[in-house]
Chains A and B, each alone.
Chain A
């Protein structure tokens, strides 16, 4: 009895879906567009996030040692810094390499090159290039260095130059995230309202049918259930179509992302693959839930016969 009722409900839902195919197509199209728009915004958020991370990753600070500081002393500082949890990577540049870099940087400036030639000793000290795990950690690393016994060995740090730059990136990334979340939220609300209205219109076209069902003795549950199952159909079919459309689009934009960032570090398709169920699973659940709630609300007024 229960299984035959369930079978009938699914059958009625399928018949209604199929026999009102244009209405179904219109409803599904709206939901597919909603899915695509939401995922487009997710992509924009993810790409801007990745862009900020790539830029953040390129930020470092350089610690310049006095020219008289020996390599073992620099090694000691490097070992000390390596023990700090905030440090991601330290790159050691010897005095000789630093000089070479300096020469390269000023190869067009004859005065500087000649001045260097005249000096008998290397006037440039070794350098440590420090990269922190988090952009917020730089001030703390600098403060640790300033208060350490190694402070006297250090000639200069370029943190002050970078501080404004780092602050700007941080502010920019925070703003992008806020704007992204806000626009995603606003769009999600608009999308929900559109889907809500679409389902209401779909149910509205069935209003006479619902009335007739009531008059021949059908219970509210028997009338309502096929519409709820149909609402689930709309959600599932729309999500599948949206996935079929979204992946080729991601494939299309991936090379453009790579050429824009000049790196292949970030792959948006991988991101969607890794978070497939988190993204599409959640979206499909939300859409189905919304469709069902809308259907229940929309049908209720026509059940009063």
Chain B
């Protein structure tokens, strides 16, 4: 599903963010990438979503070599990978419905279909009835669930969650983790980036540990090592 081959990322003048990353994530896997702040976890996600390009190596997503992806192809890639961020990245001036709809409108989905899909994803993330609220009128957990709903509307094969619980309290954190596990059970590959020890230790899934830009551990059913 996702293959990193000898990926390195060096920021000018000579800051090494990632060093020879070799990684193979299979379809329907739930993988946690852990490490301290500034070890290169987010850089890895940015390379996966084509926000950054690697300095060296190759990256293949769903059989598509995106190492030298063209700018016009990036939107197509991003519609195939759902991404959830720590700061939610919702459009503040759009309602819950509009935020989710935007991802579909961006790829030309007709309005009738949008009206059919959105209630379904809102149901999955338990936000039915809150479609007309603006992000500011929601709690942090609810905002993150809107972001997850938006990431899911394209029925992506891969969902990348970059510190999705970083801004949430423990109750909301648990709800979001349950939701990610549920999405994984439906067959979506989930890549979770986190430095939350309790969260990682509680889910008993594959854990890849990065330190100083290098993979130092890859455990099938792992624990937070650092």
Q: Are A213 and B93 in contact (CB under 8 A)?
A: no
Q: Write the nearest CB–CB distance from A184 to chain B, whole angstroms.
A: 39
Q: Write the nearest CB–CB distance from A223 to chain B, whole angstroms.
A: 8
Q: Are A305 and B51 in contact (CB under 8 A)?
A: yes
Q: Is A216 an interface residue (CB 8 A)?
A: yes
Q: Are A209 and B106 in contact (CB under 8 A)?
A: no
In the complex, what residues of A have CB within 8 A of residue B89's CB? 208, 211-212, 215
**Which of A16, A20, A208, A222 has a CB less than 8 Å from the CB of B106?**
A222
Known: A216-B102, A217-B75, A218-B102. A5 touches B93 (CB 8 A): no
What separation, in Å, do the CA atoms of A208 and B89 have in the docked complex? 8
**Which of A16, A19, A212 has a CB less than 8 Å from the CB of B90?**
A212
What separation, in Å, do the CA atoms of A183 and B85 have in the docked complex? 53
Q: Is A4 an interface residue (CB 8 A)?
A: yes
What separation, in Å, do the CA atoms of A202 and B94 have in the docked complex? 17
Select the residue from B76, B92, B103, B105 with max chain A CB neighbours within 10 A: B105
Interface string of A79-121 (1 = CB under 8 A from B): 0000000000000000000000000000000000000000000
Q: Are B107 and A217 in contact (CB under 8 A)?
A: yes
Residue of A nearest to B102 (CB): A216
Give 4 closest A-B pairs by Cβ, nearest first: A218-B106, A217-B78, A217-B79, A216-B103
What separation, in Å, do the CA atoms of A211 and B111 have in the docked complex? 24
Q: Is B5 an interface residue (CB 8 A)?
A: no
Q: Is B49 an interface residue (CB 8 A)?
A: yes
Q: Is B157 an interface residue (CB 8 A)?
A: no
Q: Is A8 an interface residue (CB 8 A)?
A: yes
What separation, in Å, do the CA atoms of A20 and B92 have in the docked complex? 11
What separation, in Å, do the CA atoms of A85 and B139 have in the docked complex? 86
Q: Are B93 and A20 in contact (CB under 8 A)?
A: yes
Q: Is A148 an interface residue (CB 8 A)?
A: no
Residue of B nearest to A20 (CB): B93
Known: A8-B105, A16-B93. A216 touches B76 (CB 8 A): no
Q: Is A163 an interface residue (CB 8 A)?
A: no
Q: Write the nearest CB–CB distance from B56 to chain A, whole angstroms.
A: 22
What separation, in Å, do the CA atoms of A244 and B34 have in the docked complex? 62
Complex interface residues of chain A between 208 and 232 (CB less than 8 A to chain B): 208-209, 211-219, 222
Q: Write the nearest CB–CB distance from B39 to chain A, whole angstroms.
A: 22
Q: Is B91 an interface residue (CB 8 A)?
A: yes
Q: Is B110 an interface residue (CB 8 A)?
A: yes
**Which of B51, B74, B92 has a CB less than 8 Å from the CB of A209?**
B92
Known: A20-B93, A209-B92. A215 touches B111 (CB 8 A): no
Q: Is B2 an interface residue (CB 8 A)?
A: no
Residue of B nearest to A9 (CB): B105
Q: Are B110 and A212 in contact (CB under 8 A)?
A: no
Can you name 6 A-B residue pairings with CB atoms under 8 Å?
A: A213-B91, A213-B106, A215-B51, A215-B83, A217-B106, A217-B154
Known: A5-B108, A218-B75. A213 touches B102 (CB 8 A): yes
In the complex, what residues of B have CB within 8 A of residue A215's CB? 49, 51, 78, 83, 85, 89
**Which of B74, B91, B98, B105 has a CB less than 8 Å from the CB of A212?**
B91
Residue of B nearest to A1 (CB): B108
Q: Is A122 an interface residue (CB 8 A)?
A: no
Q: Write the nearest CB–CB distance from B80 to chain A, whole angstroms.
A: 8
Q: Write the nearest CB–CB distance from B99 to chain A, whole angstroms.
A: 9
In the complex, what residues of A have CB within 8 A of residue B223's CB? none
